[in-house]
Amino acid sequence: MQSNNKLSETLIALIGIWLVVSPIPDFVATIFAYSTTDFGESGNQMRFIPIIHLSTKLLCGLGLIFTRSKIVSILSLDISTPSDTRNLLSASVFLLGVYFILNGCVAFGQFYATAQSDSLSDPYLFWQGTFSTASGVIVGIMSSRLGKFWWLLKRS
């Protein structure tokens, strides 16, 4: 790994670390709160939701950490020149797309975990998952183009 594009890779790794560490306090608090509450027959489904949330964030965070150099090369960031605003913008917008996809996966998980119970099922979660995932994919794909657009705006 060359040190020229280290800033973009560091940004991606930092977001990956944040995704791994940030859900742990909420997960522990939720487990304690759910263990003292009786949800009746839907209790197992309610306890499954924080596990979906935690596992999705952990997988996404670890994926970002271990594939950060490949992500930088996929975004077509120029490794032969030092990182500049264009490269950081592309990496940041890509991470925003990953965040949208992650939120969509969590919403889908919550929807399907509560789908068996009529009183807990919420179609909002399905549509939130659909639009969040679609937005994340579009933003992720367009991130390298946005960096080039920013460069053209800065140049003129």
Q: What is the mean pLDDT of residues 106-113?
A: 81
Higher per-residue confidence, 1 vs 108 = 108
Q: Are 114 and 45 in contact (CB under 8 A)?
A: yes
Res 40: pLDDT: 66
Q: For residue 14, is pLDDT > 60? A: yes
Q: What is the mean pLDDT of residues 106-124?
A: 74
How many C-beta atoms lie closer than 10 Å to residue 85's C-beta?
11
pLDDT digits 0-9 by tens, 73-109: 877 665 555 556 667 777 777 888 888 888 888 888 8
Mean pLDDT of the chain: 76
Kindly report which listed range (8-12, 64-68, 151-155) carries the lowest average pLDDT score: 151-155
Q: For residue 121, is pLDDT > 70? A: no
Kindly give the residue spans of alpha helices, DSSP state H, lying in 22-84. 23-35, 43-66, 68-74
Res 53: pLDDT: 79
Q: Are 119 and 42 in contact (CB under 8 A)?
A: yes
* Rounded CA separation 44/7 (Å): 43
Q: What is the mean pLDDT of residues 30-53?
A: 70
DSSP 38: -
The pTM score is 0.56
Q: What is the band of 1 on the pLDDT scale with cuts at 50, 70, 90?
A: very low
Beta strands in the chain (DSSP E): none
